[in-house]
């Protein structure tokens, strides 16, 4: 957060500076080619492992950096599920490798008939021998076809509805774990989402925490994930605002830079203001989380504002670029496609409004 460094401590500021340099030098030059080819971003993830980002969500005890930076949503959702829902045996088996990036994780909650309402999932886990038979289908699972481990949420007690959901860790290569097709998506093309067919047996030791605690784990994990989505939106919006500012200064229209025109200056000011509001909301939610306070409402507000802000800011950046903004020679059309997803996953804008209104009305 270049403009908000004074609100971070020294370790946070230097970690973010290092990441900004890594993103500018290693990720940005490949972004357009990745978007064009739709190739999964293994190489970039490998590079990221060297920065410590793969475990930035995990405590030092499990090999993490214990820094409140957020990215790599699906991997974090998986390792957070184990950190929050699992016991020390599961944590010791999965988290150190997740922290170094030696093992990639995925988070399997959504199903063809249950996205916004995850309490309605149908994947069923029933006792079989001294373990569990898990049967069902997941969809839109980021990393699902390539991950080394996938946290799967399944119903163990249908009568108890959301209190009857439990979580399990499934290793890649488990018999009966079958990734289907990867979706051809509009944006975020370096991150793939898969359908997963499940008809597999798991030993008791693969269940995360007590029976029936899966839904609570998933909701806590998603609070963290919403902060990560807000951070992604802020990063993309910053890139769009920088591009629009540079363009406005150098593009000459009727003998003067675009930036001399009041209509353009006002647009830039609105973009900067919108972005700053998102940064402050995200920082507030991150601080609450770091202090161990309740941050569910703050995370919803940060995610809702940032995802809608990033849409407005990338759209205005295209407008300022005129026809050039609509071409693939500039990254803005890619930014606009990428941010479109942010209003849908990890709880759509409508679901975030429901959560915020719920807090308001319960007070």
Task: Give the separation between CA 118 and CA 327, rounded to whole angstroms.
Answer: 38
Catalytic member of 36, 183, 346, 350: 346
The one among 177, 243, 345, 352 contacting ligand FAD by CB under 6 A: 345
CB under 6 A: which stretch of 33-41, 93-101, 105-113, 197-205 binds ligand FAD? Answer: 105-113
Contact between 349 and 229 under an 8 Å Cβ cutoff? The reply is no
Contacts of 164 (CB under 8 A, 6+ apart): 155, 156, 157, 158, 212
Query: In the complex, what is the shortest distance from the CB of residue 354 to ligand FAD, in angstroms, rounded to a whole number?
Result: 6
Helix 28-37 to helix 332-340 angle (10° resolution) is 70
Q: How far is the CB of 129 from ligand FAD (least distance, A)?
A: 28
User: What does the alpha-carbon distance between residue 203 and residue 323 come to, in Å, rounded to a whole number?
Assistant: 58
Which DSSP string corresponds to 221-276? HHHHHHHHHHHHHHHHHHHHHHHHHHHHHH-EETTEEGGGSHHHHHHHHHHHHHHH
Residue ranges in 179-238 that form contacts with ligand FAD under rule CB under 6 A: 185, 188, 193
Q: In whole angstroms, how close is the CB of 291 to ligand FAD at the nearest point? A: 27
Q: Which residue has the tokens 């820094």?
A: 67
Nearer to ligand FAD, 121 or 258 (CB): 121
Q: Exactly one of 174, 178, 245, 348 binds ligand FAD (CB under 6 A); which one?
A: 348
Q: How far apart are CA 224 and CA 4, in angstroms?
A: 21
Residues 295-330, buried b or exposed e (16+ Cβ, 10 A)? bbbbbbbbbbbbbbbbbbbbbbbbebbeeebeeeeb
Asked if residue 350 binds ligand FAD (CB under 6 A), the reply is yes
CA distance 122 to 154: 7
Give yes or no for residue 147 binding ligand FAD (CB under 6 A).
Answer: no
One residue of 141, 150, 233, 243 binding ligand FAD per CB under 6 A: 141
Q: Binding residues for ligand FAD, how many (CB under 6 A)?
A: 20
Nearer to ligand FAD, 132 or 140 (CB): 140
Of 79-87, 97-105, 106-114, 281-289, which part binds ligand FAD (CB under 6 A)?
A: 106-114
Clarify whether 228 is annotated catalytic. Answer: no
**Residue among 53, 74, 82, 196 that touches ligand FAD (CB under 6 A):** 74
Any contact of residue 3 with ligand FAD (CB under 6 A)?
no
Catalytic residues: 346
Where does this chain bind ligand FAD (CB under 6 A)? 74, 107-110, 115-116, 140-142, 185, 188, 193, 341, 344-345, 348, 350-351, 354
């Amino acid at each position: 957060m270049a403009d908000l460094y004074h609100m971070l401590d020294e370790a946070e500021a230097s970690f973010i500076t290092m990441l900004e340099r890594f993103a500018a030098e290693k990720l940005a030059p490949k972004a357009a080619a990745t978007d064009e080819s739709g190739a999964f971003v293994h190489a970039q993830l490998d590079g990221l492992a060297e920065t410590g980002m793969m475990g930035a969500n995990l405590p030092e005890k499990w090999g993490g950096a214990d820094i409140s930076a957020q990215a790599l949503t699906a991997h974090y959702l998986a390792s957070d599920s184990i950190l929050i829902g699992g016991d020390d045996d599961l944590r010791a088996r999965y988290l150190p490798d997740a922290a170094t990036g030696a093992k990639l994780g995925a988070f399997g909650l959504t199903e063809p008939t249950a996205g916004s309402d995850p309490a309605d999932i149908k994947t069923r886990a029933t006792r079989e021998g001294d373990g569990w038979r898990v049967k069902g289908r997941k969809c839109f699972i980021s990393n699902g076809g390539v991950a080394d481990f996938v946290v799967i949420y399944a119903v163990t007690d249908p009568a108890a509805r959301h209190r009857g959901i439990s979580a399990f860790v499934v290793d890649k290569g488990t018999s009966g774990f079958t990734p289907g097709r990867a979706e051809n998506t509009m944006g975020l093309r370096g991150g793939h989402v898969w359908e997963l067919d499940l008809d597999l047996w798991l030993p008791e030791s693969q269940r995360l925490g007590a029976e029936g605690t899966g839904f609570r784990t998933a909701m806590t994990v998603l609070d963290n994930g919403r902060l990560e989505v807000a951070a992604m939106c802020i990063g993309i919006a910053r890139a769009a605002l920088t591009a629009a500012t540079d363009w406005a200064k150098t593009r000459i229209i009727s003998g003067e830079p675009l930036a001399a025109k009041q209509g353009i200056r006002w647009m830039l000011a609105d973009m900067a203001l919108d972005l700053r509001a998102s940064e402050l909301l995200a920082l507030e939610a991150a601080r609450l989380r770091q202090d161990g306070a309740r941050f569910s409402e703050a995370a919803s507000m940060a995610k809702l504002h940032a995802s809608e802000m990033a849409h407005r800011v990338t759209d205005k950046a295209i407008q300022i670029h005129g026809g050039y903004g609509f071409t693939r020679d500039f990254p803005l059309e890619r930014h606009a496609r990428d941010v479109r997803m942010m209003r849908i996953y990890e709880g759509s804008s409508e679901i975030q409004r429901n959560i915020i209104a719920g807090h308001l009305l319960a007070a």
